[in-house]
Structure 1
Amino acid sequence: MKQTLLQEKYPVFILELHRDEMRFDSVDAICDYFRQCIEAHRCGQFIGVFDHYAHTCSLPEGSVGEGIRAAKNVLFCFGLALPSPRVLAVRPRSIGVAETDQGFVITFMEAPMPIANAAMEDWAESLRIPKSGVDHAVTNTKTIDA
């Protein structure tokens, strides 16, 4: 998992996996997995899945990057606290799931709560086929106390 700045201002986490490294073989299966993780988390609230690829392709001026086969966003909230109306600007959360010619790319923007970032990182890393053959799947649920 890499952390970088997108367009020099948005802190994002990126995980790129080849098909042979993945526990799942489709964007839909990965989105379903994330939904299970979110619903199993005591602070998680699943909102929905947005088909970004279909939306962009439906626009007359829509443009999709070369090699992108599918792209969806899993929308959810960890909203444990609502300290001010300003925090709504960074909610809800989204995990991007894209299929490319090489495999899959999982992305999400850094959350203001480090524990939320850790949960999303764990969920993403759990997509990888375990090297030991032991499956540490779905219910990797960290508690958010922030």
Structure 2
Amino acid sequence: MKQSLFQEKYPIFTLEVEKAETTYQSVDDILVYLKEQIEAHPKCRFIAEFDHFSHTRALPDAEIAPEIKDAKNIVFCFGIKLPNPQVMAVRPRSMGVTELDDRFVIAFMEAPMPVANDAMERWAKGVRNR
């Protein structure tokens, strides 16, 4: 799991999983696994899936790196408190799953809540199951 700043301001976590390291065959397979993890967590709620690849491909002047074969997000929320209106700026959470020729890349933005980061990191690492 690699922690970095994307575009020098967004704290993100990224995990690359070689296809030989996982039994999952597609982005959709990984999203099924992630949805199961979300639904099993007592403080998390599944919201939606977003097909970023199809959305982008359908836009005029769309640009998709040629090595990207598929890219989807799973959206969910750990929001157990609503202490002020500003917290809405960092919710809900999303994990992106991208398929390349030889690997999957799982990425998510750091949450302001350690329990959320711990769960998302554990879920991402669970994709590497061989």
TM-score (norm 1): 0.87
Cα distance, 1:72 vs. partner? 0.2
The AA in structure 2 aligned to 1:74 is: I
Is 1:35 aligned to 2:35, yes or no? yes
What's the secondary structure of 2:89's corresponding residue?
helix
Q: Deviations over 1:36-69 (max 9, x none)?
A: 0000000111001000000000001111112000
- Counterpart in the other structure of 1:79: 79
Is 1:46 aligned to 2:46, yes or no? yes
Q: Hey, what's the Cα distance between the residues in 2 that align with 1:91 and 1:66?
A: 31
Q: Hey, what's the Cα distance between the residues in 2 that align with 1:42 and 1:23?
A: 26
The AA in structure 2 aligned to 1:106 is: I
Q: Hey, what's the Cα distance between the residues in 2 that align with 1:8 and 1:22?
A: 31
Q: Hey, what's the Cα distance between the residues in 2 that align with 1:77 and 1:129?
A: 25
- Counterpart in the other structure of 1:102: 102
Q: Hey, what's the Cα distance between the residues in 1 that align with 2:26 and 2:55?
A: 18
Q: Hey, what's the Cα distance between the residues in 1 that align with 2:11 and 2:23?
A: 27
- Counterpart in the other structure of 1:19: 19
| Runs of 4+, deviation exceeding 2 Å | none
The AA in structure 2 aligned to 1:16 is: E
Q: Structure 1: where are the runs of 5+ without partners?
A: 131-146
The AA in structure 2 aligned to 1:17 is: V
RMSD: 0.8
Q: Hey, what's the Cα distance between the residues in 1 that align with 2:86 and 2:70?
A: 33
Cα distance, 1:102 vs. partner? 2.0
Cα distance, 1:23 vs. partner? 2.6
Q: Hey, what's the Cα distance between the residues in 2 that align with 1:73 and 1:12?
A: 14
TM-score (norm 2): 0.97
Cα distance, 1:99 vs. partner? 0.2
- Counterpart in the other structure of 1:56: 56
Q: Hey, what's the Cα distance between the residues in 2 that align with 1:3 and 1:23?
A: 25
- Percent identity over the alignment? 55
